[in-house]
A and B are shown apart, each in its own frame.
Chain A
């Protein structure tokens, strides 16, 4: 037996090492827990080097631009060319500096504006896997970061802390397939679950087909997941499609749109209101009527109220018909006037410009009454009798 083990020593050790790692893997998967100590060692060992590298990069970029590129230039032409080049680089450098300052300022303003307590952090590395949707930031448990805290930028949510080490924290980005969060539409009418897909776009799941969701609509955190406080922007709906059994809604994550350098970790979340939907029925300015009185029957020009609606016209037609029969409205002295045949002719009254004989011909009795009513109407408007028949 011993000779057998000695003979296959290498293979035995290989199997033992593989078995040990399988065991490690099985324990983690079964208990859904990490072997934290190994990660702490590695992260604590690697992140200081990452910081040093970042410092060296920042310092060396400035050194190379400001010193080495301008060193040993004797030819005037070359010197000028390189000077222009270095000025361009400096310009880019200053623009970057300005961007950094503006970003820091925006972050500061945002930090002061929101009711939640936050901690600013800088991204110092990505996950080691080739499909990694995780990043490392330079704030860890020593600064109060805990697993499960939400990570945001002024533009929107970024992800959540999945591990907090003494010197750094690991952030699971919203685009990762394991990410999920509760969201609500801006008008508050549609609730769903935001899910990462491993692609740049996120998916809002569990929205019934009957709900109305439109492209361009904003989604905000709902606060239901107990990770993200309510009211943080998530993203804009890029596409909506009816699928079974729920709608298929894809959202462009606002927090990851412009790259990721500085983030805020929410150490103490406070729910806030979702900004109101911009009103679609905005008040419309209407200019005053032209003062020249170009319309002869305009109220301002005549001073009398013209028949505006069909009801007005109808009332005046009845009034004219009654007066033509000698009836005095409101006195109660005479019997009711005879309106027989008047109602059938009324819908045909608006034809003042029609040539005589043109169009359907009303009954003879009705024609008289209609003419009377038109006359009365014209009189009320201050026009000469029969002017509309001209």
Chain B
């Protein structure tokens, strides 16, 4: 008997007991659908959070000054005033570096008419937008001319704009920072991500130095974007070498540190991997339960059809013909259930994706694995009943009422 005949026989059988077949399949349908849906939710959540981390800039390196000491007290990481604008300019000439943006920060009271907020004032340069993945919502970012001419202009973060009641129409109007008027030249898109990066106002570095913090040459941090042609580690090495040369240090007494995002990304990737596996594991329990349902119904079916098995054996079916018939029947149930389960799983994933806002995330691998797994369930839980059927003694089977 060839496979097509067996599948035809199985479908005929399923047609004659539709309700039972549907209910049996339901177990597998739910199992496969939940595997597909949960894996998709896992992937959706992962890509959502990964893209937030990437919004920080994956090739972003942050150079911070080391710690300062006052007397015997260590004032902690980032308090030294060892990084300067000259360092920043020197870094820009390194081959592995795409862009450099130093920043000076201060916190000031900002007024817009009657509304006010206290927020970070970040003094920086033109490249900051590129290095930190900032996108303009309205107007423009700081440019080189405003830097050179120390123009009193400001670019407003999305949260700060909300706090001050600023809209797109307010580009060109003025706000007051510590009593000094600044012209608003741009509003930023909300960036989300970790920490509130949207609550800040960006002004030219020279203006912050001159008007707000005094004329010290030191910067709080230098953001460096590694060029695409080199690895982040290589860029890090170049920066370290240059700064050690400029500062006269040698690795044991460096007065700066360099941080990157790769560790955060890899930590998150391993957490989400474990989480996805956990979800899939829970879902596959229901698939196993579905498989037991198939085994149960196949055992009942073998019992009910004992006489049919006897007849088939009497007219020439070998044990393996009967085995194949019942195994294919179980497989038809499980694979059909698997296919319906995938459809249901995709629908559920699409629904969840639409609600959570990460869209539909289905990898073909998941679908192949789901079909493969339901096939496996069919074989594992179909073999035993099929063997029971194949081993029946034809005489006893023919006498069975």
- A, B from the same assembly: no
